[in-house]
Structure 1
Amino acid sequence: MAEAKAPHAAPSLPSSREDTCPRCGGGFHCGANDPGPCACSGLVLPPALQAELRAQYAGCLCVRCLAELARTTT
């Protein structure tokens, strides 16, 4: 069974929203509602890590943090 892709933001977020990563505090653009694929859609995170992140953080993390987490859990 394939690993799940990185979680996306809630569908109600506007595409122009600028966010602050709750993990590192850096600014980023959540592209979950953009016409093209979100930058995080190419990342693969294990389901257990996704569950942990959902429990720990209310919103999306920046691509840099998600990529770091993906590297350290594989």
Structure 2
Amino acid sequence: MAGDGVRGQETAVLAGGPADGMRITVADRPAVLQVTRPCVVEVPFGDVRVDGLYVYRRDLRVDEEPLRYGFDPASP
């Protein structure tokens, strides 16, 4: 792994938003994570599913486990 730019798996914690406090395992320290939550559909429409999308961005100031990802309320 040395020199190839690939990191192992690490623990991360999500801060804020709907997944506040959730601990996950990430590989290669992604800059952004997407969390989805199913929405209630009042009238079924075939095989369509609706999910709410939430974005978490890695806090670059944290360089040790657990990594920290903060909720980005401005993201779609």
Larger RCO: Structure 1 or Structure 2 (Cα < 8 Å, ≥ 6 residues apart)?
A: 1
Which protein shows a greater Rg?
A: 2
TM-score for both structures, normalised by structure 2? 0.29
When you count strand as a share of all residues, which structure comes out higher?
2
